[in-house]
Amino acid sequence: MTGNTSATFVTVVHSVLMVMQLLVWLLSGTAITVFMFGMVLYISRSAGSKGQQDGKELIKWGLIGLFIIFSLSGILAVMRIGVFGS
């Protein structure tokens, strides 16, 4: 054993957290796009109830996605502080 396993573990954890943080940003953009598209659909098709329903569904799922993504972002921040101290 080289005694370097602690440094290697921290490096691996850091790399995994950075990749997950990038995924959070990518998914945030996707959720915001879905939410905004739902808003546009809801407003533009306000005369038809089917268009409004589609818009409401997209808005709902966009908000749910944003809630989950930002919760995951907070959990990742707590993990980063717990492992790296800052």
CA–CA gap between residue 2 and residue 62 (Å, rounded) = 48
Q: Which is higher by pLDDT, 57 or 76?
A: 57
CA–CA gap between residue 62 and residue 25 (Å, rounded) = 14
Q: Residue 78 is part of which domain span?
A: 5-84
**Domain count of the chain?**
1
The confidence score (pLDDT) of residue 26 equals 92
Tokens at 13, concatenated: 């954890």
Give one DSSP letter per residue of 5-34, joined into a string. HHHHHHHHHHHHHHHHHHHHHHHHHHHHHH
pTM: 0.72
